Structure 1
Amino acid sequence: MLKFIRPMFPTLVEVPPTGDNWIHEIKYDGYRTQIIIEDGTARAITRRGYDWSSTYKTIVEVAATLSPKSAIIDGEAIVLNGKGVSD
């Protein structure tokens, strides 16, 4: 059975690092979430390890239809407003 992997948390710095070994992404204002998929079922786990599957019911239902036998997808659950900004 796949288990929750405690994510790394960001570190606040004055200036972002530079160089070829770094990439950066946009920070949306959402909720860090791991989707754990196993044998046609899925769970949504918060960054602190709480099961929010009932809160993210639609995400969990769609994730359960994906084809891998097992996977952990780490990402951020967000809602975009009419202007495409996380809200």
Structure 2
Amino acid sequence: MPTLVAKPPQGDDWMHEAKFDGYRSQIIIEAAGVRIFTRRGLDWTAKYRDLAEAAKGLNVQNAIIDGEVVVLNEAGLSDFAALRKAITRR
């Protein structure tokens, strides 16, 4: 889990990655179809229906894609409010 600190640690033993403001998720692609789960294991496929449809178009038989689901604003920054809006639309 990411931890907020004033300054990142230095040295060769550390690796850093940018933290985007979104939801950590896993896309599971298999013969039975596409499912998308939250970090806590909740099935959010219905909330991510556009993302699930896009994943169906990937040229793979099986895959697990693990990452942060985000919506970017015009400046290329993650926009959590836009993500919430996108996944709660009917």
Name the TM-score, length of structure 2 as normaliser: 0.73
Q: Aligned residue pairs: how many? A: 79
Instruction: Tell me by how many angstroms 1:10 deviates.
Output: 3.3
Contact 1:45 1:51 in 2 (8 A): yes
Distance 1:69 1:76 in 2: 22
Q: Secondary structure of 1:76's match?
A: strand
Percent of aligned pairs sharing the same letter: 56
Could you say which residue in structure 2 is the equivalent of 1:6?
none
Distance 1:70 1:29 in 2: 28
Uncovered stretches (5+) of structure 1, i.e. residues with no partner: 1-8
After TM superposition, where is structure 1 displaced by more than 6 Å over at least 4 residues in a row?
Answer: none
Name the TM-score, length of structure 1 as normaliser: 0.75
Uncovered stretches (5+) of structure 2, i.e. residues with no partner: 80-90
RMSD: 1.9
Task: State the Cα deviation string for residues 4-60 of structure 1 (Å, max 9, x = none).
Answer: xxxxx3355565343345432211100101000002721110011001101101111
Match of 2:78 among 61, 77, 86: 86
